[in-house]
Structures are given as structure tokens and as C-alpha cells.
Chains A and B, each alone.
Chain A
Amino acid sequence: MSKSEWKKLELRIDPDTKEKLFFSDHEWDTIEAAAARVIPTDRDPGAREARVIVFIDRYLSGINYLYATADGSGFLRLEGEEARAARARNNDFKRMYREGVLALDALAVQRGEKDFASADEATQDLVFVEISGAPKPSHVRLDEHAVFYSRLQGNTDTGKSFFETLCLHVRQGFYSDPVYGGNKDQMAWKVIGFPGPKSLKDTMDGSYTTEPYFAETWDWSELLLDYDPSAICIYPTCTCPSKTTKEGNQCQISKRS
């Protein structure tokens, strides 16, 4: 069946749900605690309040919550080869998370804890440092400098370690449209000041706009250098490759030397 004909599943995610579709009770508690270290609670809500655990549980439960319908009233029912491929990836993620929980617990136990979820935050952060193989990330400061180089990095969630995948999923669960189970009541958008749409449907029918956040007024003559509304060369006889010329004479409109 073509992607264009995928039907709608009448599914909704309640961020306050107690129902677990994938995680065991222990796995739920562990990943909820881990998510709270990825995006902690401070003066602003973090992953715990935003119900990221629900987002991740639903995502791992199968392929029914992969794509919301465009208007957000349900989810798309994948078919055919796309469903097969998505299910295979989903199975890999299920296994990755199950093993990831065991790994977090093992590292906590090594530190004398009963498990990861019951350890204090400082210990949980130490476990993160160990499992990630890197120090706890430091702040992006205005008084530092670094250069970067482009590299092959996809935007999908495959091909990464458990820890990198967890951090990515927590971020996605925190900031995605609430239809996916996280970002409860748009609280994450409020943390960063993103004026998001009330619903996905609003982005389709013209009721959502970001126009108030553009410049209010403007004058191109003030904003731009060398702007001359009349200066359009319309001479097809121009043969000079680098500058426009006007019938052999130096072009009046070419203002650069």
C-alpha cells in the first residue's frame, strides 16, 4: 500500500498515563531517572515533568506512534516495506534499551548502589560519565572559542550508542509536539521561549503564524547597500561574463569596481 494511502490509527497519548506499553516497572523508573539527568529539573521543568518517559515508552512499544497524522488527530498506520523496515529498527531499539537499563544498573551497583534509579543524582551523573566515556559537558561560554569541521552525521536515531541514543530521545521527547506524549502542556517550549502552535492542525489552516516575531517594519533602502529599484540590466546583447555592460559602454548599474 502506498504511503499516500496509510490510514489513521485512532490513538492518542495521555502524558499522565500510568499504562506502560513497553517498559517493565523497573525499566520505566530507570529511564525516567536517566532522562531527568539528561534534562534536569531546576528553576524550570525538566524531562521528568515534561513526561519524556511516556514519549520513549510509546516510541519503543512498536511502530504505532512513529508518525502522527498531519493534523495530530491520530497516528499513521504504516504498511508494506516501510512497516517492515520500521519494525526491524524498533526491535533493535527495544533490545538496546533493555540492555541499556542493565548497563546503567551494573555501573550503579559497582558504586555500591542498589540500582541506578535509587542512586542520588551525583552518583547517577558519575555513571553517565562512565557510560558516555566523556566528562560531564561544560557550559557553552561566550568567552571561549573553538572551530568545527563538517562531518558525516545523519539526523536519524540509528547507528549510535545507547547513551547517545538516550540523550537524543530525551531531547526529542522534551521538545517535540505534545501529540507524541512528551512536552506536556508545551512546558518545554515555554522554557526556551518557543511560541509553538496549539495543535498541528493550526499549522495547516493558517491559524498559526510566527509573523509577529519577524521584523515589524522595514525599508529596503535603509537595510541594503547599493539598492536601486530601477537598476535592472535588460540587455541580452551583454557579452561580458563578469560585469553587465550596456551596448559596449561601461554599464551604469554596475557599482562595484
Chain B
Amino acid sequence: MQSHMPLDEVLMIIALGAYVVSALLLLVYFFSRDEWLKHLGIPLAIAGCVAQFAQLTARYEITHVWPLLNLYGSLSLFAAVSVAIFIIFAFRYNLWFAGGFVIALAALFLAYGVTWNEGSMPAVPSLQSYWAKIHVPLVVSSYAAFMVAFVMSVLFLVKYYFERSLSGQTVDAAAAGTVAVRMDSPGIAAAAAQGNAGAQWLNTIPSLAQLDVLIYRIVAVGLPLLTLGIITGAMWAHESWGAYWQWDPKETAALFSWIVYAIYMHLHTRNAWRGVRTAWVSVVGFISIMFCYFGVNLWISGLHSYKL
């Protein structure tokens, strides 16, 4: 019997701890805008993410089983990629204001994933395929991108409706995308100047137009990944079940999410629909992703019921 904790579990605890502290720091940063919180939160987020990838590698080295084939492993990758995508976008577009939300969500998913740790298990025959190593990371990464898009969409909607409640009218002029210069939020700016705390927080995050573009850019990472994930899933299914598409609940739920994001993409080609409507579609899209990830595994049985 092993008396000490395996390395992968130690790394998991380090990652979780780093995320929790980082999320707290960045959440406080969102409200206070004290720069030092950010300067402490960012390295912790990066450290957590690195610990996670090290954990997945360690687990593979220890068990010799691809570590993504159950909820424990896939949720771990999901959290790691969410944080990684966020970090990349945050460095590029200075999104640290949203870091607390993204990392808190990632930590929650990771903590939930840990409850599914059953120890080391070999894969069932249908999962013993090199496709597992390609398909699962792609799909999980797409989920991660959509999670980041979801957080930005929620921030967009909060700002949008707050502005609407302050200015007492629909923010049509500001309907994202119509005209760049009209994308500021005069109601929020005025309220912020008068010391309204909510308005002050929202005033410092990017404009609705910028948020809309950001959401689009993140969906632009997620949708090709999901498409590729579905394609490689189909190739795998072709090899293991005999048909590239069996209309199994997991596949169809993924197709549903794909359709939602295809709707997003098409609405986004239209000026008048870009902004609040597409932000809602992105929220619905992430709910459908969560349904596909957990709902189908836990409530609906099918060929995919490997708790993946």
C-alpha cells in the first residue's frame, strides 16, 4: 500500500490552491483595480495552469493510461485549457478584469472533476484508440474556449442591461457593431462620475463594442475546434462503431451546440444583430455545451456513456 500521496494528486492540489487564490485576488482586482492584486493573481493563474499540465503528464507517466478518458481527466484538461486560453487572450487584449470569473469557474469545474477520481483504470476497448488522444483534447479545448466566451458574454450583458437601466432606453445606438464611436455607455459613464460603484466597475471594462469583438474572437477559436472535434469524433466512430454518425445523444448534443454557434456566427454577420443578441446566443451556446458535457453523460445513456 502506498502511504504517501501520488505525485499527480499533489500537483492537483497545488493547481487547485493556486486557482482559488488567483481567482480571489483577481476578483478583488475587478472591484478595487489595485494593480498589485493583478500582479500577484496572474503568476498564480499561470502557476496553476502549469501545475495542471504537469499533473496530466504525471498521471500519464504513472498509470500509462491516457488521462482524459473519464470526467476526472477531461475536467482537469477543461480547466487547464480554459485558463490557458484566457491567459493568452488576457495578455493580448488586456482582459485581466475578467480573470477572477474565468479562474473561479475553472477552479469549480476542477474541484468537481476531483470528485470523479476513481484512481487508475485501464481504458475500455472502445476508448483504446489513438483517436481518443486527438478527439478528446480538441473537444475539451473547444468547451474551454466557449467558457471564456461565456464569461465575456455575461459581462457584456451585465454592462448592456446596466446601461439600459441607467439611461432608461434600449441601447440601440450602442447595439454593438453598428458604429464604433457610438459604443460607449454614456449612462454608465455619467453614473460613474457621480460615484455609483457598479457603474465605476463597469466603466473600466472595455466598451460593449470591444467586448463583442472579443467574444467573436474567442468563438472563432471554439467553433473551428468544435468542428474539428466533431470531425475527429466521426472518424473515430467510423473506426469503432461502424458508422461515422450514429445519432447517439452525445453526438447529437454536440451537433446542437454546433448549430447554436453557427447561429451566433450568422447573426454576427449582420450589423443590427451583433451585440446583445449574439451575446445571448453565446450564453445559450455555453449552456448547451454544459448539457452536452455533463447532462448527456449523467442523465442520458448512449454509446458515449463512458463518463467522458
A and B held together in a complex: no
| B residues neighboring A (CB under 8 Å) | none
| A residues neighboring B (CB under 8 Å) | none
